[in-house]
Amino acid sequence: MKIVVTGGGTGGHIYPGTAFIKYVQQKNPTAQFLYIGATRGMENTIIPQIGIPFVTLENQGFKRSLSPDNLKTIWLFLKSMQQAKKILRDFQPDVVIGTGGYVSGAVMYAATRLKIPTIVHEQNSVPGLTNKFLSRFVSRVGISFPSASDYFPKEKTLLIGNPRGQEISGMQKSSALKEYNLDPSKPTVLIFGGSQGSLKINQAVLGALPVFAKKDYQILYASGKRYFDEIDETIGMTKDAFKNISIQPYIHNMTEVMVNCDLVICRAGATSIAEITSLGIPAILIPSPYVTNDHQTKNAAALEKAGAVRMIKDQELTEENLVATVDEIMQNKDLHGKMAQAASSQGIVDASYRLYQLVLELTSK
């Protein structure tokens, strides 16, 4: 079996694809893969690490206002589509799976023109323009949130879940927190705003540190590389007073660390949500206001309605309501347990299996 996976730009589009690839490699070691990504995007560092063939296409997104750049976007799309056709003809895949991002638009559309079976995977509760466009042409659409079905043709849409969640669902607690000078036996709150960090989250956390330092739980706080030096300098000599707080620029083993935490505070991206729900960890989600269609707010709202998370909107985040919300969850075992149970109920832990069964269905015809 030959499978092409395409998607790029951010980890939310890439990690579901890599998780699916690893799952299929376990189930079918003879399966061959090709990953098609963008010339600029996280896939250029992530995909080479998993050891499969990798090629890139140049592309860019549309501006939401009238701009001459949109003419270049159209030209790059047409050019990428022709290049994708050649790549697909050479590789001869049995199926092509797109996980989002502008590069997947050209590749998936090319695959439909070549009449290759195709699957779009949508991670968010509100899809982006690329997947909504492709849904009219592809064979099947797999979604991670039930509410996303409203945006796609119902006869070809299936609830799959996010393969990233299945990848980490079996992980066990470890001594990973020792690496960050924390006590593995102590209740732990993990706070992060993405690999580069979030200014708004950092401002609230920085103001809350003196209060957090007096709590009976500990804090692991990833500030983001671009903010770390400034925060380190701001705290200065007071660092020694924060015995139960570890501040890091970046956490390289995030999933292993997350397994060992009791509460997660982060943005509401699809990958983070898949990890949180698969592990059954309560969370405080602070949706980014800088994403298309405000989809992170809708992601968080779906989990808040289920009782799995608390949501604090970015513009409403303060050090006071951050501390109050953390205390509400960490100091109430009954509430913590109910949120953990609700989080587990929202996770679809057989997502890779479901996606693979869909691949087998399409390729057996």
Q: What residue numbers does the annotated binding site cover? A: 10-12, 124, 195, 251, 296
Could you tell me the two tokens for 276? 């949180």
Alpha carbon distances (Å) from 309 to 92, 101, 190: 44, 27, 14
Find all residues with CB under 8 Å of 66, minimum gap 6, and list them: none
SS3 219: strand
CA dist., res. 355 & res. 165, Å (int): 13
CA dist., res. 140 & res. 137, Å (int): 9
Closest C-alpha among 200, 261, 341, 44 to residue 272: 261
Q: Are 38 and 102 in contact (CB under 8 A)?
A: yes
Find all residues with CB under 8 Å of 26, minimum gap 6, and list them: none
Residue 341 phi, psi (nearest 5): -65, -40
Q: Report helix angle 69-91 to 102-113, nearest 10.
A: 50
Mark the binding-site residues for UDP-N-acetyl-alpha-D-glucosamine, compressed into ranges: 10-12, 124, 195, 251, 296
Closest C-alpha among 11, 2, 97 to residue 53: 2
Q: Strands of 283-285's sheet, edge to edge?
A: 245-248, 218-222, 188-192, 263-266, 283-285, 309-311
> Is 154 exposed, middle or buried, given 0-12, 13-18 or 19+ CB atoms closer than 10 A?
exposed
